[in-house]
Structures are given as C-alpha cells and as structure tokens.
Amino acid sequence: MERYYQPEIECAPVEKIKALQDERLLKQVQHVWDNVPYYRHLMEEKGVTPADIKGTQDLHKLPFLTKDDLRKAYPYGLMGKPKKDCVRIQSTSGTTGKRVVAFYTQHDIDLWEDCCARAIMAAGGTEEDVCQVSYGYGLFTGGPGLNGGSHKVGCLTVPTSSGNTERQIMFIQDLESTILCCTPSYAAYLGETMKEMGLTPDQIPLKAGIFGAEAWSEEMRQDIQNTLGIKAYDIYGLTELSGPGVSFECSEQSGMHINEDHFIAEIIDPNTGEVLPEGTKGELVFTSLTKEAFPLLRYRTRDICVLSRKKCSCGRTFIKMAKPMGRSDDMLIIRGVNVFPSQIEAVLLNAGYPANYQIIIDRVRNTDTFDVQVEMTPEMFTDNVGEIQKRQAALEAGLRSMLGISAKVVLVAPKTIARSEGKAVRVIDKRKI
Ligand code: DLL
C-alpha cells in the first residue's frame, strides 16, 4: 500500500496545486523584491516589477539566477531575512569554485524536513522502521535533511554519517536497519563489502534505500537492489534549494515527484534560455515558493533532464522529473563530441561490470585522449592477457557505438579504483583549456 506523509497536497488535483503555486509565487516575488536588493536589481534591469507577475504563466518574465550570481553575492547578498531570523547554514563542497552557502529560518528547516519525510514515506517508511542515515552530516545537506525527515516520520534514526564502512555494517546488522540513506556509490560499496563478508541479500535486514546526490543509472539501481535485497529509490535536491527532497521517487520508480507546493520547475534550452514544452530535454530551473531566508527565483541548476505529468500509479499528482542524465557543466566535450559520464556507466554496467570506473581525459599534441579505467569483478578477474584484451576490445566497441567516438579501455584489478563515501569522483580532466 502506498503511503504518504501529506496526502492532501501530494495527491491534490493538479488545478489545486497550480492555484497554490500562483498564490505563493506572487507572495514570494514580493518578498524577494522587498528584501533581496541583488535580485530586485536584476528585475529592474529586465524591466519587470511584482505587478507584472500575476501567476505562474508570467514566470518566464523573471530573470534567471545562476551559480555565478551566487558567487557574486557570496555570502550574504541573496538573503531574504535578517541574520537574526536565520538559524542555520548549509554549504556545498565547493569543488567548482566558491562554496555555495544557503541560509535557513526555522520555518525553512521545517518545510525542508517535511519534503524529506515525504521521500521516506514514499519509500515505505513508517514509525516501525530503523533508518540509517549514512549521508555526510555537517555542511553537506544530505545528513541533516534525511535525519530531519526520518524524525518526522517517526523512524528510529541512526545518524552514522558517511564513512567507517565496518561500523555501518555492524549497525545495519545489530540494529536491524531497514532503510538506508546514502549516495548510490556508497550503497554499491556497502553492498560489495557485505557480499565479500559472505552476507546474502536475505541476511541483510534492509528493505529500502534512498539514494541520491549524484547521477546513477538504471543499471546501477538493479545492481544495488540485487546485492542488498532492497528496493532502491532516487532522491534529488541541491543545497541552493534546501537540499535533498526537492523531488523523490515513489513505488513506480520511474522518475521523481517534484514537491510542487514548494518549488516550480521549468525546463529551458541551456543555450537560449527559452522555456521548453513538457517532455523536452533541457536544463532544469527551479523557483522556490516558500523559502524565507534564501528565496531563489528561476535558479538554473545546470542539471539536464525531462519533466512529465503522466498519471502516476502511486496516486501522487506532482509532476515528475526523469533521473538527471548529467549536468550541463559535467558534460564532457571530447574531440568535439558531447559525452555524459552516465552514458559510459550504462555501457559498463550492461556488460556486467561494476560501477567502479574512472574517466581520464587529457590533451596530447592538440588531440583529446579519452581513457576509461574499469574494474573487473573478482569473478571475472584473470591474468590471461589475451582474455583481458578481448574484453577491453568488446567494451571499446560498446562505447564507440554509444558515444560515436572511441575510447581506450583499461581493465584493472578489483579494488584498484578508490571508493567514495560520498559523491564519487568519476572524471579526471587533465586538459588545460
Ligand atoms: O547533493 C543534495 C542531496 C543530498 C540530494 C542527498 C539527494 C540526496 P549538492 O551537494 O548541492 O546537494 O549537489 C546538488 O547534485 O544539482 C545534481 O547535479 C546532483 N544531484 C543531486 N541529487 C541527484 C540525483 C545535494 N538524484 C547537485 N541524481 C544537483 C542525479 C543528483 N544528480
């Protein structure tokens, strides 16, 4: 039976959701206009005032906000509330330049935790469950968000944070954890380790996993489900918009419902900024409707995906986003061809390899080199050179047909590629451009 945390809104008629969005948008635009001079200035530059925004149909008139704006306004320039009204910050790891620092009032945290509670209940969570939160705690939003959601559902919450794999497994077994929350790459690693310990899926008490914070393929989902003996649910979010729980998967496991009472989603053409019709692939843009302390309007996520309002068997009416196929800034351009790491992952997993790989790109004498290191599983490990070459050639052919360019595949021994306890590092781009 499908379970909901807030069924009155999660399953509301679409017209009711739209009406709520209209009402909240007007309030939010006024709030930003009155309290965020940085964005008011962008609106003035575009010649828009709150009076021009009468509902969601006018959203396209508002200017975009980008990560670059966040950097320029760092740290306090986009706050919608005075510091004295804020109770928390969270922040990104800042691998691509300056960190993003997001602010929260107590009310913002409350709504964020509601969104995470919706995700946990959609994954079957109840107060009977033991929910192990193995996302990092601290500045990263994963741990605090799911921790709050787990409390709201009433699960017994185990805040292990990330890392210390042995201790994670000990708690899963001793406390009989039923729900695991972590990145998909860490879930795969936990699965791999438990398998090595001789544990079969039926000896692992887990029944569901809530995995997100990075792109993962359908093939990787199957892999994790099989090794852990669970149902694996996707969850999406970003620090700028609170953290995990912007959208979440239900029992259908075919895309993530966006919490539309708190966020409006648009898909745009990343090059022109034009709004694209539902069902078209493009860049995801979010407007936060209820956030007080860090109220972002039309924030460009750089995530590439597709929206769909097709009726969902779970009963929820919120629009769904497909698994993001990558970020427009993660997209690699190799020898002029657009390549997403997720495409490479699909080829590898379809051929029976684990999701332990690394893509290494360099430029030698003005030509891009494109190497993919792939780990063999212990079962396929061999030191027969001829056999390895045959397998490498097969993977190279698979990649060529998927991507349209050739890559050099190097098969490496099991456990050679460093495991990640948080987001995996898949790409090493050594080109100096
Ligand atoms: O990763 C928030 C989060 C924590 C989401 C735990 C889910 C679970 P950031 O560190 O700010 O926030 O990174 C946000 O990660 O723009 C996407 O590119 C990527 N991302 C997040 N969830 C998914 C997902 C958190 N389910 C950035 N699939 C986003 C693919 C994801 N990419």
By the 8 A CB rule, do 378 and 414 touch? yes
Residue 268: both structure tokens together: 């745009």
By the 8 A CB rule, do 124 and 208 touch? yes
CA distance 329 to 266: 18
Cα(364) to centroid(ligand 1), Å: 33
Confidence of residue 335 (pLDDT cuts 50, 70, 90): confident
Confidence of residue 95 (pLDDT cuts 50, 70, 90): low
In this structure, are 307 and 364 located in the same domain? no
Where does a domain end: 327, 358, 375?
327
In this structure, are 246 and 342 located in the same domain? no
In this structure, are 226 and 373 located in the same domain? no
Give the percent of the chain with pLDDT over 70: 98
Residue 97 predicted with pLDDT over 80: no
Strand partners for 234: 211
By the 8 A CB rule, do 89 and 104 touch? yes
Q: Does residue 184 form part of some domain?
A: yes
Q: Does residue 2 form part of some domain?
A: no
Phi, psi of 338, rounded to the nearest 5 degrees = -75, 125
- Number of separate domains in the chain: 2
Give the percent of the chain with pLDDT over 90: 86
CA distance 251 to 238: 23
Ligand 1 nearest-atom number relative to CA 327: 18
Q: Does residue 31 form part of some domain?
A: no
Residue 306: both structure tokens together: 């597709």
Where does a domain end: 327, 353, 371?
327
CB-based pocket (< 6 A), ligand 1: 92, 135, 141-142, 212-215, 234-239, 243-244, 301, 303, 323-324, 327
Q: Pick the residue whose CA is nearest to atom 4 on ligand 1.
A: 142
Residue 155 predicted with pLDDT over 70: yes
CA distance 228 to 210: 13
Where does a domain end: 327, 355, 390?
327
Given this model, what pLDDT does residue 350 score? Answer: 93
Which residues have C-beta within 8 Å of that of residue 166, sequence separation ≥ 6?
Answer: none
In this structure, are 183 and 235 located in the same domain? yes
In this structure, are 423 and 309 located in the same domain? no
Within 10 angstroms of residue 263's Cβ, the number of other Cβ atoms is 24
Q: Pick the residue whose CA is nearest to atom 21 on ligand 1.
A: 213
CA distance 235 to 243: 10
Residue 96: both structure tokens together: 């691509």
Cα(212) to centroid(ligand 1), Å: 6
Print the domain residue range for 402: 334-429
Q: What is the pTM of this model?
A: 0.89
In this structure, are 132 and 250 located in the same domain? yes
In this structure, are 347 and 199 located in the same domain? no
CA distance 216 to 377: 19
Mean pLDDT computed over every residue of the chain:
95
Given this model, what pLDDT does residue 264 score? Answer: 98
CA dihedral 313, 316, 320, 323 (to 10 degrees): -70
CA distance 319 to 46: 29
Number of C-alpha atoms within 13 angstroms, CB side, residue 134?
A: 33
Within 10 angstroms of residue 121's Cβ, the number of other Cβ atoms is 24
In this structure, are 261 and 391 located in the same domain? no
Cα angle 40, 61, 307; round to 5: 115
In this structure, are 157 and 247 located in the same domain? yes
